[in-house]
Structure 1
């Protein structure tokens, strides 16, 4: 039997998991949420929810994947096998697997935008428009149906080429390069912004605590959504990365490091973007693609040294996006390998072709596509994974899997916390997302 590919060391695994978590939510949504919901008033509940979800959902999905040595389809099947319902479990496991593929396809569209803007910072095209309306028009043309085919295909081909090299030689090595560079570049940006006149007003806003905002239910709802989606628990990517871990790996310690560095990335983004807006007297009241591709490029255009700032920013964003894209595509690729005995390269090519064809077709509707996935499929996948592992697997089995590689057992209330708090939280995120049009 051929040995299953895996991460070569702890650092590679942690950086890969951090890469999967650090994405557009950290960069174009977190700073906006901090700005809209009272700075420190948002950070307080956000940190609370990061600790809760990191200490339950992230640990659980990593351990579930390692226990099954596979992605969600076989993992869910394993959970129901003792009840004679393996086929049902595998069918339910298709939900987060297909969700990962659909999310990867939507993310491919975004990566095409990022690649075009990153290259454009070197050629001058990204900062060429003169005003906000011109930036909006340029982005609108790019984000329309069939408006960015070449760059989108190039981004996906780069991703697939990395994945063809496997886990240790492809995904792990790519993350070992891109993640440290991402943090290094963003730290450099933060230092540069700190030296600009007017930046202090931005810091003052980030760290102030507004009692009214802190008491508002919406602050807590959006802090929950931000933490939940930022840590990438969806019953797919974290499970599949966990499946490549050895039994000697301390999963709770790894999960804590992933949560820490993901939160650090989000805070770095806020420390760059909010003070940068403050230097021009601008109000950060819009997130999403508009912030990344319209308002920030216009801001860079007007800043001293803006061209260099734009280069560093979009290259760093490209690294963050690519590492997330690798994780999203890994789940369907691994499923083809596990369930249909595909070799690695044919599996990557098959999923890559699907990704190219579908992503080109959805360019004009990608916003709605991603909304459906983030509102319904991601929390549903996370909830199903939590239920399978903490309700259908025996407590002794769960605790044994979580404690592998540890010198002493994890705290005794871990299992009931996951069973009776994490599972309802996943349901709550699903309901709140549906009621509010998305909270992630």
Structure 2
């Protein structure tokens, strides 16, 4: 017997949940690094333009596919391709499912690091030096402790469903994330060296605005920061009420996600310059030291220079990062869970634990072969699957989906021109993003 489909109960709950899916380590970790390495204010200016030109249509396209189908990505894409070749659409949905598992496999490992770093200031405060060393270590044991913890935390939310789980916890976690983010910005702004960071971040060097590398980097970051291409937004769109105002909701999600990315830059970039003021090496050859070192070496070293207050700042920062991780893992986990529930009538509880077990097995394989497999998995996922799936969604909505596609049926007005933009302009922009990230 088919199971009754859950859904979001309010516009506000959906916006927080969808923004939570988009707001992840890419916003708080990746965006500030891209800004610091690509002209600061110039990158910020181009990023805002690109959000409007590429990311908003991509977000709308993915939400639209799920909303019209009221189903998971496999069924939604299969239905959209039914007049051409339903198997192609369904196959793309299965690729998305596999991508979701792959993403969860490496993302849960990194999220586990955030959780361990969030706990470490507490152990330092109480003088548990051995525990602190363990929590800061790169050991296999630490990964096997905290990766399952993050998966269990995610599963506990997914088990409750959309309304009682995803929507309820998004309402709790997203406001907390924003409060922590703003509080940390206010504190970092009071430190020596922060003003230089604010200037670098907010004042654009207009000579760099037309730099092709900067433009392509901004396009890639805008696309990835909205968590597009893996199916998160498609599954969330499917949980909206049939009469939902999709354009307005799309704009709200993009605005909140972009605001968080902007605020993350207001925190991280000034913090980098504060660290440099305190004698921490943050730039190498004019470029910011890699993202992993930034989060797990430079910033903790900065917190150490602050004395006892640094323990509190470090605790709040990594709690912030942990929240950003959880809001992303729950949306990605929901993709394969919804597939098992809807396409195979598996009980949600069994589906959640089955998906979590598969992800744990894949994550364990990465942990045990970390040196070569971790980077390879991330590269294949971010540089190939995400942009290619985004391109596929544009082609699906713009060219292949005939029956029930209101955009395709539009012949006049703004809907017509928006449909033409998705058909012709967006695939070109998306191809540029793919060519840049895949081939450098």
User: Which TM-score applies when normalising by structure 1?
Assistant: 0.90
Match of 1:434 in 2: 438
Match of 1:153 in 2: 148
Change (3 A) 1:33 1:296: same
Count residues with an aligned counterpart: 423
Tell me if structure 1 keeps the 8 A contact 2:397–2:408: no
Q: Tell me by how many angstroms 1:326 deviates.
A: 0.6
Tell me if structure 1 keeps the 8 A contact 2:402–2:408: no
Q: Tell me by how many angstroms 1:121 deviates.
A: 2.2
Deviations 1:252-294 (A, max 9, x none): 1111111111111111111111212222425451242221111
Q: Does 1:297 align with 2:305?
A: no
CA distance in 2, matches of 1:306, 1:401: 58
Tell me if structure 2 keeps the 8 A contact 1:61–1:235: no
Q: Tell me by how many angstroms 1:231 deviates.
A: 1.2
Q: Tell me by how many angstroms 1:106 deviates.
A: 1.1
Deviations 1:278-334 (A, max 9, x none): 224254512422211111111111125211111111111111110001111111111
Task: Give SS of 1:362's match.
Answer: helix
- Computed over aligned residues only, the root mean square deviation of the Cα atoms, in angstroms, reads 2.4
CA distance in 1, matches of 2:29, 2:194: 19
CA distance in 2, matches of 1:30, 1:370: 17
Q: Tell me by how many angstroms 1:145 deviates.
A: 4.8
Tell me if structure 1 keeps the 8 A contact 2:192–2:274: yes
Q: Does 1:388 align with 2:391?
A: no
Match of 2:315 in 1: 311
Match of 1:323 in 2: 327
Q: Does 1:222 align with 2:217?
A: yes
Q: Does 1:351 align with 2:346?
A: no
Change (3 A) 1:401 1:356: farther
CA distance in 1, matches of 2:404, 2:330: 33
Q: Tell me by how many angstroms 1:17 deviates.
A: 0.7
CA distance in 2, matches of 1:126, 1:306: 14
CA distance in 1, matches of 2:415, 2:389: 26
CA distance in 2, matches of 1:6, 1:312: 32
Tell me if structure 2 keeps the 8 A contact 1:145–1:362: no
Query: Runs of 4+ in structure 1 displaced over 4 angstroms?
Result: 125-129, 144-147
Deviations 1:332-354 (A, max 9, x none): 11111122111111110110111
Match of 1:94 in 2: 94
CA distance in 2, matches of 1:114, 1:48: 31
2:169 to 174, 184, 195: 174
Match of 1:112 in 2: 112
CA distance in 2, matches of 1:178, 1:400: 38
Deviations 1:347-394 (A, max 9, x none): 101101111111122021322211110001111111112211221123
Q: Tell me by how many angstroms 1:414 deviates.
A: 0.9
Match of 2:251 in 1: 256
Change (3 A) 1:81 1:127: farther
1:332 to 323, 329, 336: 336
Q: Does 1:233 align with 2:228?
A: yes
Give the gaps of 5 or more residues in structure 2.
none
Deviations 1:385-405 (A, max 9, x none): 221122112397233999xxx
Give the gaps of 5 or more residues in structure 1.
403-408
User: Which TM-score applies when normalising by structure 2?
Assistant: 0.90
